[in-house]
Structure 1
């Protein structure tokens, strides 16, 4: 479980931070016995802790997606095969499929897994100009789904003679949201068919057939690869709760202050305050916050009084 991996990682960081704090506190309280504090000796240990916290925060987005489900919106013009693609990915008929443009008028939300990763996939109304009030509501919901998605599957018909409308629609979607461009109905298209959009996707582009299933495995792989979560295993420590993310962010902020204090050669007691604050912040995850642990660590590491 990722939770167990996070607990182990947080405990490891807390132990290293407690050791660093104990070093500073020991030199403050027992300088006559163990000598003055050497700031240069502390710097590599402090930098290592900051780097490890940065790595945890970098994967936090993936952690939230794994906990809540990756939101994938299927977006495209009417009648390009969006509902057929949804059914193909789910392996069952969940969306109504007809040859009539505008059949899907509301957002359909379903869940499935790709290699253990929870996916919340949304089939949306085809985006086009429409005077139908109900269809306009569906189109607005499709736009909103695109804005809220972690990933957009932009679907177009490989056989459509004019792809300029597809290009305009693609350009209107949120720039910051990763996209996989899906040329559908490959079973009807020759290899030499014009694929004007296949070079437009930040997250890759591919040809599929929702009817025959051709290319679906590649599409599933592209979804995970684009989101950079395909190599996250059970042993990877992931921050999946907002309070844990906040705790790590707070700990990192205090460590950055400690680094500045170290470089500026401020009094060690101010350095100790920053380190103690960072350690207490991590205690939100580990449950450690007692002064007794610090005292025991000082005597353990420095054999004071022995």
Structure 2
């Protein structure tokens, strides 16, 4: 009797080792703490609530290395759980934290955490361009944002602009995620945490110089994109792209496991419009009924999705 080898098949022993490795990574980051971060960094935003919730925003350039690894480890763990990150790539490279990818400029981490334990509860980040010169976003030689690399387009070739915009006025929103235990929290608590994170996020955007004009990114329309309409009035979704990453890229499953991932360009409110949004967020948080406050916010923003097919 002869045996046959199936090309590309993985021996069961390798599968078991990889599974154990991933389990250890998840366990390590389930117990990782950001306690003391507010004192060790210089937050762009810091809100400590009486019930022990802390929301803060810290630029990557101000993060001590151990906190950067903890944050990037949290990101890797959540993406491994959701299968948006490749366990094969993580195992082969011995990763315990998400590596900083190419095309990665300054990054601002917005974190909702439990003050007592330092556990990350909710998280989102934005990244800036890597270009050092203020090139127009339509310039053929500007550095692409990561979502543009995956979709193979310059987003601003397909979204009309009323006036010139340079790369410093655009940020990419990434990695909106939560701790798994938050799924078991009460709806009111989850809603409040979302509002707290939104308040921190937009307060930070309002304080950047130059002020952002647009957020770019990608996601499933029924999830990430739809969530943004709760706080942003104008979002343009580009239809017809075929996003992908090489199979040796840690995040290539993100474009395999999700249904239809679409890139988008969202206009960021500025000036008085931003102040109104921040005021609405504070009112929603102060409301006796969090759901009613949230519904009022969504009604006031009245977010709209526009579409461009390519």
TM-score (norm 2): 0.23
Identify the structure with bigger relative contact order (alpha carbons < 8 Å, sequence gap 6+). 1
Decide which structure has the larger Cα Rg and report it: 1
Structure with greater strand percent: 2
Structure with greater helix percent: 1
